[in-house]
Chain A
């Protein structure tokens, strides 16, 4: 294998035009072929692309699906999200370990199978779930885990693990996934029949400025979480100087508990691509990128085929639908397992073939985005809304929802409820009504907006889902009476500690300190002053961090401190001796006692 390494490197680089900005695709191809991007491979890549090796190494070390050391031919990545753990992911994990005879983070001695944990893979409605290479396996049991290992040992082919297909396009010949859509409620905007091409035709019949006006009249706001008015974003981008502009569709969907974009990409990809094309027309861009998270690689071939069909049907390419001088095409950029890449400037970095580090703002993407070009970044669902607005007019769209939040919202509901899946609801709906829809009436808490959102207590279930009250990108995790909200908060903190890009200190260090102190409290070693410490440090992390990740990562702690104060108060107690109760002298000397072979005189006095 290693003999032809230079040839393979050359070939892969050539296939991407020797373009340094396509480094993500290049190293992904290397990883797929060799199970790693080794030191010698990085040397060769650097030469081939005329860049420094460190640029490649810093990228490879950043993404969790890439590695410098060889992994097994098959990598099993078990999702360790809190929702999966509530459904028994820990037992499944033990079963994998026992059957494979290795621990997490290890590879079997024959080099065949690696076992790892991974953050939320967008399957919270069918937990516990795992990725086996690109293949998704859902609703795992300990038996299923053992069976998977035995089969992989036999044939080594992950695709053969899928014996039943999910509903809708999950059964498409290019998807063949066991993933279920779980569409539980269809509303009036998103899950409606669509006439392919109609929206683009209507858009091209009016001027770009009029398209933007339509989006503004509909008062559409971004569905990715921040809720920025879409029409205004487009206007800024159109107004920015420069020859070339770009439309990015954010399909990174990394927020724990969200999976609605997965369903949209499976069932409504034409609406998403139409939305991108319309955005391209509106802002004057001729290129677009769909940034697809690495976890959704199983959808890639299918989406490529949809794109090919759209090109055939003149919905992409030159002179779209006969409109002279309007051309637009798009490519799919695969991610490689990094939550931060959902943040728009990090997403741009990743598309440019860099580490997924966020960039300083200003300049905003609308001014200077992908390769320095004015760039619009929109969520998958936002772009579906755009298509609908052009299909039926802004007035019809704005009929639904509330004044400040028009239209409908897709909610991804998971956890302790009878009906998990995607619900299309009108904005302005009460949380209590949503819980009734999903059969989660006896919840004690709901995490609204994913790990970075807020933990809402029972007393506040009459609040409404909208931008002015409970804003959410769509993740709703329901927690029943037997759950411990502080343990949940702790799991979320673990997620942020893992996913912080490490660029700035408040986020890199602050989240670790927050998590440590929270654990001290849950272990029963906390004091009232620790609550003040959490509040103060949490506020510092929130206000001093550089990007949205750090600005929201303290939320699990800050919102439970606010809404579940009694739970904290019951755990902390004042102590008078001035000692730190979390420090355990006996435990700290235990190792030396073994090495030296005598008992401590201090610890056991």
Chain B
């Protein structure tokens, strides 16, 4: 029987959550026995090749491309997990939500202390996705089935959750794995 597939992506995140996935250490070998990775930065597959059992989302949505990727994850995955605080509530990128968008662009491309931009143009290549007026947590854009909190969530938490989902067991994480103070 074909192994179930897992897909992952990093939207407006720092890749820290993906580092935490890798942090499961040698268990990654076990994971590879359990699943195949589909679209994911881990194997650099860019397009979905088929239906996936689980999708892991790092980061919230700060631009139009994030939204498109997230929607395609929703289409292709049976179960979607918001992985980490950025996905769950916007996290650090959402700090800009109180600042007008124009000021954000100006700071990034014109006025920032390290900016060198003699032409005073804000980059405008169609390849560059437009920013959303604010950063959205994933569950405000599509339905999310599970939230794994933490910045990043500990590797053990990710591991336990994945194994439970892939072996059709209830995701009942012990207190130590979901306690953050």
Residues of A within 8 A of B (CB): 577-580, 582-583, 585, 588-593, 595-598, 600-603
B67 contacts A580, CB within 8 Å? no
CA of A24 to CA of B122, assembled, Å? 52
A591 contacts B133, CB within 8 Å? yes
17 contacts between A and B (CB under 8 A): A577-B74, A579-B143, A580-B139, A583-B141, A588-B67, A589-B64, A589-B130, A591-B101, A592-B131, A593-B130, A595-B122, A597-B124, A598-B130, A600-B64, A601-B126, A602-B129, A603-B64
Residues of B within 8 A of A (CB): 64-65, 67-68, 71, 74-75, 80, 101-102, 105, 122, 124, 126, 129-134, 136, 139-143
A585 contacts B143, CB within 8 Å? no
B132 contacts A589, CB within 8 Å? yes
Q: How far is the CB of B17 from chain A (nearest CB, A)?
A: 21
B105 contacts A578, CB within 8 Å? no
Which residues of chain A are near B68, meaning CB under 8 Å?
602
B136 contacts A588, CB within 8 Å? yes
Which residues of chain B are near A593, meaning CB under 8 Å?
130
A579 contacts B71, CB within 8 Å? yes
Instruction: Select A585's contact among B64, B74, B101, B139, beta carbons within 8 Å.
Output: B64
Which of B102, B130, B131, B143 lies at the interface centre, i.e. has the most chain A CB atoms within 10 A of its CB? B130
CA of A578 to CA of B142, assembled, Å? 6
CA of A595 to CA of B100, assembled, Å? 11
Which residues of chain A are near B124, meaning CB under 8 Å?
596-598
Q: How far is the CB of A554 from chain B (nearest CB, A)?
A: 21
CA of A588 to CA of B66, assembled, Å? 12
- In the complex, the chain A residue whose C-beta lies closest to that of B65 is A602
CA of A541 to CA of B80, assembled, Å? 27
Which of B67, B122, B129 lies at the interface centre, i.e. has the most chain A CB atoms within 10 A of its CB? B67
- In the complex, the chain B residue whose C-beta lies closest to that of A586 is B64
Which residues of chain A are near B132, meaning CB under 8 Å?
588-589, 592
Which residues of chain B are near A588, meaning CB under 8 Å?
64, 67, 132-134, 136
CA of A598 to CA of B65, assembled, Å? 15
- In the complex, the chain A residue whose C-beta lies closest to that of B138 is A580
Which residues of chain B are near A583, meaning CB under 8 Å?
67, 136, 140-141
B140 contacts A582, CB within 8 Å? yes
Which residues of chain A are near B134, meaning CB under 8 Å?
588
Which residues of chain A are near B65, meaning CB under 8 Å?
602
- In the complex, the chain A residue whose C-beta lies closest to that of B64 is A602
Which of B64, B131, B143 lies at the interface centre, i.e. has the most chain A CB atoms within 10 A of its CB? B64
Instruction: Select B101's contact among A582, A592, A601, A602, beta carbons within 8 Å.
Output: A592
CA of A598 to CA of B124, assembled, Å? 8
Q: How far is the CB of A330 from chain B (nearest CB, A)?
A: 47
7 tightest Cβ-Cβ pairs between the two chains A and B: A592-B130, A602-B64, A578-B74, A588-B132, A591-B133, A578-B143, A592-B131
Which residues of chain B are near A591, meaning CB under 8 Å?
101-102, 133
- In the complex, the chain B residue whose C-beta lies closest to that of A597 is B124
CA of A597 to CA of B102, assembled, Å? 12
A580 contacts B140, CB within 8 Å? yes
Which residues of chain B are near A603, meaning CB under 8 Å?
64
Instruction: Select A579's contact among B74, B122, B130, beta carbons within 8 Å.
Output: B74
A602 contacts B67, CB within 8 Å? yes
Which residues of chain B are near A579, meaning CB under 8 Å?
71, 74, 141-143
CA of A597 to CA of B140, assembled, Å? 27
CA of A298 to CA of B131, assembled, Å? 53
Q: How far is the CB of B133 from chain A (nearest CB, A)?
A: 5
Q: How far is the CB of B7 from chain A (nearest CB, A)?
A: 15
- In the complex, the chain B residue whose C-beta lies closest to that of A579 is B142
CA of A605 to CA of B126, assembled, Å? 14
A592 contacts B122, CB within 8 Å? no
B133 contacts A592, CB within 8 Å? yes
Q: How far is the CB of A574 from chain B (nearest CB, A)?
A: 12
Which of A582, A590, A598, A602 lies at the interface centre, i.e. has the most chain B CB atoms within 10 A of its CB? A602
Which residues of chain A are near B129, meaning CB under 8 Å?
602
A595 contacts B101, CB within 8 Å? yes
Which residues of chain A are near B71, meaning CB under 8 Å?
579
Which residues of chain B are near A580, meaning CB under 8 Å?
139-143
- Give me 10 other A-B pairs in contact (C-beta within 8 A), A580-B141, A595-B102 excluded: A578-B143, A582-B140, A583-B67, A583-B136, A583-B140, A585-B64, A588-B67, A592-B101, A598-B130, A602-B65
B130 contacts A596, CB within 8 Å? yes
